[in-house]
Amino acid sequence: MAESRSLDELSSIVQRSLSTINGALKEKGLPQPSFAHGGPTTFTLPDGLDQARTEALEAIDEIQALLRGPIDYLFYRGILAALEIGTWDLLTQFSVPQHLGADETLSYAELAQRAGLPEDDTRRIVRGALSLRVFEAVLPPSGDGGEEKVRHNALSWTLATVPEAASFLRLVSHATDAARHAAEVLRKWPEGPTAPSGADASQCGFALAHGGRGLFDWARDHPDAETDFKSAMTMQSLAPGFAVSVAAEAAALDADGKQVPETIVDVGGSAGTLAKAFLRRYPGIRSAVVQDLPGVVATSRQAGVEPEFAGRLRFAPYDFFQDQPVHGADAYLFRTILHDWSDVQAAEILRRQVPALKPGARLLINDFVVPSVGAHTHVRDQSPRAYDLLMRVVCNGKERSLDDWKRLFAAADPRYEIVGVRMPPQAKLSIIEVVWRG
């Protein structure tokens, strides 16, 4: 990360990057990104353009910081954080987007009546959302004294129709509660999730905000929150940089003459989105077992298995702090599981897999490998840094650098060997390939 660049240089980067993206979209006959209602919920670039997007976003982010100056930038970021937290919470708690039909244009009074909110508060909530480009304002012609109204755009319609989006933002509210206790956490438990004494999952801001109970313990007694957590994980997989299809591709199970595993186990796999992506990508996989806690498995079983996976996919209850019950599988998948836990607990999870592993079995860890400072742009660096702090205050977990991962596996069992780390340009998460040498 270099010192600030000149405005001339930054404007050239933005112009060049957007020109590259625009030209590729036109060449392939693809639509422009748009806020218009009815468009796709994700904007996926053609292959080879991720670098152009990264350069454009980084330059735009740097321009905004430079043009505001230090005082205004810090003030703006603080106020914006408050706006975002309040807006997402209110929109989802009162299901405001869901009260507006696909093609409706409503006054604030009409929307307030449907949402069961005072008109003035509804107006303030929606106008806050409008400033974040959520909803579209329909303004009366100048001077005619008409009424301001609101209708959907692409962002508000996504909130209204993609349940996982609302679940994710409700989960953010819980994370915000935890973050308010961040300073108290550091004062009370300064050793953190790396030290043996910092292993307890209740040593976090979430527990301080919820009567001393850690996230996963608390969620067991709050089915709605557990459902939101499951849906939020699905939402994460819908984001292009976190797409399970990218993870399946990055695993490169058929690269360099390797034999594709016939049996895989998706540990803590929730609804099985990762396992399904692997089954689609690798027809040679004969069987996939998706493991999670009994309540999550019951929900997944009730939803059923899609016809394309019939006979190849099943769900089974498993607590990963117990010995792994599926013996002799070729590969065990862990997607954003170990970052939820301290080093002591993560090592215990890995140790619990050992009795089931055959020589040469692979563990595929789909998680952040936190880069060193300066390895990535500021914008690209924000995701792993945000998750790292989030894990600390929500569940006393952590994101890990490659050296951290090496220490973790060595502590769990020296017979684990990291043999590769892969992260495609469009991905946020890496695939860490580990072989059992027992």
Task: Give the closest residue to 183 by CA, choosing from 342, 345, 340, 392.
Answer: 392
Cα–Cα distance, 221 to 235 (Å, whole number): 23
Between 50-93 and 378-395, two packed helices, what is the crossing angle to 10 degrees? 40
Give, in degrees to the nearest 5, the angle at Cα 353 between 351 and 359: 105
Q: How far is CA 425 from the centre of its chain?
A: 17
Q: Name the nearest CA neighbour of 52 among 88, 85, 15.
A: 15
Give the Å distances, CA to CA, from 287 to 279, 302, 332.
8, 20, 12
Is 339 annotated as catalytic? yes
Q: Which helix (H) or strand (E) holds 290?
A: strand 287-292
Kindly report the CA angle at 390 between 159 and 70, in degrees rounded to 5? Answer: 90
* Residues linked to residue 191 through DSSP beta bridges, in sequence order: none
Q: Which residues contact 182 (CB under 8 A, 6 or more apart)?
A: 205, 389, 392, 393
Q: Given 152, 339, 376, 378, which residue is catalytic?
A: 339
Q: 3-state class of 238 per DSSP?
A: helix
Q: Can you name the residues that pair with 332 across neighbouring β-strands?
A: 265, 363
- Measured in degrees and rounded to the nearest 5, phi and psi for residue 369 equal -115, 105
Q: How far apart are the first and last CA of the chain?
A: 42
DSSP string, 103-165: T--EEHHHHHHHHTS-HHHHHHHHHHHHHTT-SEEEPPPTTS----EEE--HHHHHHHH-HHH
For 103, half-sphere exposure in the C-beta direction (CA atoms, 13 angstrom radius) is: 0
Active site residues: 339
